[in-house]
Structure 1
């Protein structure tokens, strides 16, 4: 299975407030590459979000703005590529909102949400939060709400699901964006 797992952390509730992004690239069911960057958003920081992920305005003062990062990662978001996220509505919403904010054309790609797949495949878990699913499947998640750790955990959740249920069974969770 080949795909890219995506995770964002945000400064506030605004859809263009990304402060960090991470990608875990999977080829043949192995994480083969990782990408992480802080992002300097053009918005304010809420105390609530900072308390969740620990990233402050000072931390991103010298970070690139999103368009600089997009130039590097855009090739991973094409019609023939699968993008995976745990709670994909959130991460895809941040990507879309940030692209819209900077007037960058939205790409078309396939999207799979590991929250949705884990709810269907593991209905007995007490909840389907990333840390809960990872723990129940024996997947390492050292720093929840660190975008890179979260992206790698989401990648490993899908790898686990593919190994245990088969790739064909996961196709029903794929949506075109």
Structure 2
């Protein structure tokens, strides 16, 4: 079955630890079954809101004053995903946020496998641009509030669901295989996988 959780972060600045909002969309058997969105208070030292970022997503320092910190919200994020593979558009950025924010705040990086919908889109559609709004339009998902984390996660989910139908893939892993997109991993599991593939020296 096509099961995954799409995720999108917005950040206060260029630091990967500065997540200020997250959107999550759970897909079960190719259908959206749940979604959630919340604001995040970036940690001290990574909490300056750049004007450029505010202009993009509209979130201001005053909006996150009472929000949960990264450490407080991380269990909620992990619980929502519930062991799913994550999907994100330009997944290196969003999974990098999880890694960096967790490291900066002293949290264990959670185990996640992930697939990049940008890479899937590149191997599914013939477009001039593979930015999220353009790729989402190719998947039949239009007119969403780009740079709202929930709307972006919904668009990302729509791309994967549409691409899976086009490639006649029954699972996310099968879609990744057909499109020759790598299934990435973060967390202790990824570290162990890397060690077993490359030997103990790879961890030094």
TM-score, length-normalised on structure 2? 0.81
Q: Is the 8 A contact 1:141 1:153 kept in 2?
A: no
Q: 1:141 to 1:107 in 2, by over 3 A?
A: farther
Q: What residue is the counterpart of 2:31 in the other structure?
A: 30
Q: What residue is the counterpart of 2:198 in the other structure?
A: none
Q: Is the 8 A contact 1:77 1:108 kept in 2?
A: no
Which residue of 110, 113, 116 corresponds with 1:113? 116
Shift of 1:77: 5.6
Shift of 1:71: 1.6
Q: What residue is the counterpart of 1:83 in the other structure?
A: 86
Partners of 2:131 and 2:17 lie apart in 1 by: 23
User: Does 33-42 or 101-110 show the bigger shift?
Assistant: 101-110
Q: CA RMSD in A?
A: 1.5
Q: Which has the larger radius of gyration?
A: 2
Q: What residue is the counterpart of 2:201 in the other structure?
A: none
Shift of 1:74: 1.6
User: Does 147-156 or 102-111 show the bigger shift?
Assistant: 102-111
Q: What residue is the counterpart of 2:197 in the other structure?
A: none
Q: What residue is the counterpart of 2:70 in the other structure?
A: 66
Q: What residue is the counterpart of 1:127 in the other structure?
A: 129
- The SS at the match of 1:62 is coil
Partners of 1:17 and 1:11 lie apart in 2 by: 5
Alignment size in residue pairs: 175
The runs of 5 or more residues in structure 2 that have no matched partner are 187-204
Q: 1:36 to 1:169 in 2, by over 3 A?
A: closer
TM-score, length-normalised on structure 1? 0.93
Residues 1:103 and 2:106 aligned together: yes
Q: Is the 8 A contact 1:162 1:170 kept in 2?
A: no
Q: Is the 8 A contact 2:3 2:27 kept in 1?
A: yes
- The SS at the match of 2:16 is coil
Which residue of 168, 176, 184 corresponds with 1:170? 176
Q: Is the 8 A contact 2:139 2:163 kept in 1?
A: no
